[in-house]
């Protein structure tokens, strides 16, 4: 069994228990969830959760996508925590060495694995002797602690992505799905003739609007009627981190710009603003987390900042970073 398959049961459980309305909503729309959310191991492609409107509204996701999300989340949290520790020691640090401890090395290995999945866009077996959802190949207790935390965030984070898909079904975005398919074909055809071809903003506007609606639907489900601070905090971390994982999937800065979705960094900012409107203490944590990953993305693109210490105004620092990215893409 592949390591991620072990968590598939948790995905369904999380999806149904995050909000008490989900089961009812789901049943009224489609029937039992396990009949409709399909983790398809034979689907060898990299395939994020999508609704198949012409296939009985099934939501399908491929295993390689799940492997991607888990390995990215592991990297994100190790990187974030280690960067925070490093900044405590040296506030002007401009970067951290990811080869200095076994925990960091493991995180780096998983980052490279996640990048390989993106490059090949297919299923790649879990790297040997590296931490996994099954805790195999654990080099230290530290690593195991992170893996345990990531298992929880992964289940909640994926559930929110399924909520987004459920939103497409509930709001009936079948027309937009059809339009997107047509525009994709048009884009591919035109790009063969002219590599600089771009679709007009007004052509894609209905699709972007539908995506934003589905995002809002998912956030509403996730954060509605949830008066337990710890659960809400945990859900907020999960939804942000799974979007940071998507942000890491781009191979260049320009990739942050999306054709059929809101831009990846803007989506992250929107989530942080949404979290800010909740009754969660210490919302600065979310800005810090996003900043560390954005600085990492910038650094990979060859753009080094003097320091990534956001100081006492992380949200302000994040907004500046967003502007900087907008200028660059």
For the CB of residue 2, give the shortest distance to Zn ion in the complex, in Å.
26
Q: Which is nearer to Zn ion, 63 or 211 (CB)?
A: 211
Using alpha carbons, select from 150, 314, 316 the residue that is nearest to residue 237.
150
DSSP letters, 232-289, are: HHHHHHHHHHHHHHHHHT-SSGGGGS-SSS--HHHHHHHHHHHHHTSS-S-THHHHHH
Q: Which is nearer to Zn ion, 214 or 245 (CB)?
A: 214
Q: Which is nearer to Zn ion, 212 or 299 (CB)?
A: 212
Considering only residues 285 through 324, tell me which ones interact with Zn ion, judged by CB under 5 A.
Answer: none
What whole-number distance in Å separates Cα of residue 171 and Cα of residue 174?
Answer: 9
Burial class (CB in 10 A: 0-12, 13-18, 19+), 266: middle
Q: Which is nearer to Zn ion, 2 or 212 (CB)?
A: 212
For the CB of residue 211, give the shortest distance to Zn ion in the complex, in Å.
5
For the CB of residue 303, give the shortest distance to Zn ion in the complex, in Å.
29
Considering only residues 191 through 250, tell me which ones interact with Zn ion, judged by CB under 5 A.
Answer: 211, 214
For the CB of residue 164, give the shortest distance to Zn ion in the complex, in Å.
6
What whole-number distance in Å separates Cα of residue 262 and Cα of residue 114?
Answer: 22
Q: Which is nearer to Zn ion, 82 or 211 (CB)?
A: 211
Task: Name the token pair of 122.
Answer: 């297919």
For the CB of residue 59, give the shortest distance to Zn ion in the complex, in Å.
11
Q: Which residues contact 248 (CB under 8 A, 6 or more apart)?
A: 72, 75, 76, 111, 114, 293, 296, 297
- Contact criterion met (CB below 8 Å) for 247 and 264: yes
DSSP letters, 80-140, are: HHHHHHHHHH-TT-----TTSSHHHHHHHHHHHHHHHHHHHTB--PPPTTS--TT-TT---
| Number of residues located near Zn ion, criterion CB under 5 A | 2
For the CB of residue 174, give the shortest distance to Zn ion in the complex, in Å.
13
Q: Which is nearer to Zn ion, 209 or 328 (CB)?
A: 209
- Contact criterion met (CB below 8 Å) for 166 and 216: no
Considering only residues 139 through 168, tell me which ones interact with Zn ion, judged by CB under 5 A.
Answer: none
For the CB of residue 276, give the shortest distance to Zn ion in the complex, in Å.
23
Q: Which is nearer to Zn ion, 51 or 294 (CB)?
A: 51
Q: Where do contacts with Zn ion occur on this chain (CB under 5 A)?
A: 211, 214
């Amino acid at each position: 069994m592949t390591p991620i398959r072990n968590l598939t049961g948790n995905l369904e459980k999380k999806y149904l228990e995050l909000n008490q309305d989900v089961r009812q909503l789901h049943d009224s729309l489609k029937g039992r969830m396990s009949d409709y959310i399909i983790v398809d191991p034979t689907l060898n492609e990299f395939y994020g959760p999508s609704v198949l409107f012409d296939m009985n509204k099934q939501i399908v996701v491929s295993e390689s996508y799940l492997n991607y999300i888990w390995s990215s989340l592991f990297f994100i949290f190790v990187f974030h925590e280690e960067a925070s520790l490093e900044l405590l020691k040296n506030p002007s640090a401009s970067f951290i060495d990811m080869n200095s401890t076994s925990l960091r090395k493991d995180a780096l290995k998983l980052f490279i694995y996640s990048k390989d999945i993106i490059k090949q866009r297919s299923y790649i077996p879990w790297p040997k002797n590296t931490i996994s959802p099954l805790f195999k190949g654990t080099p230290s207790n530290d690593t195991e602690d992170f893996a345990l935390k990531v298992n929880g965030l992964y289940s909640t984070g994926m559930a929110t992505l399924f909520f987004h898909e459920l939103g497409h079904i509930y709001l009936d975005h079948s027309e937009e799905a059809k339009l997107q398919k047509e525009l994709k074909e048009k884009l591919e055809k035109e790009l063969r003739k002219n590599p600089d071809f771009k679709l007009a903003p007004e052509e894609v506007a209905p699709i972007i609007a539908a995506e934003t609606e589905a995002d809002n639907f998912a956030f509403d489900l996730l954060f509605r009627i949830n008066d337990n601070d710890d659960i809400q905090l945990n859900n907020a971390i999960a939804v942000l981190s799974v979007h940071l994982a998507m942000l890491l999937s781009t191979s260049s800065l320009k990739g942050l710009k999306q054709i059929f979705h809101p831009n990846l960094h803007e989506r992250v900012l929107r989530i942080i603003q949404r979290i800010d409107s909740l009754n969660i203490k210490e919302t600065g944590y979310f800005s810090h987390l996003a900043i560390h990953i954005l600085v990492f993305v910038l650094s990979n693109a060859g753009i080094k900042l003097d320091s990534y210490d956001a100081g006492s105004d992380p949200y302000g620092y994040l907004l500046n970073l967003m502007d900087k990215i907008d200028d660059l893409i």
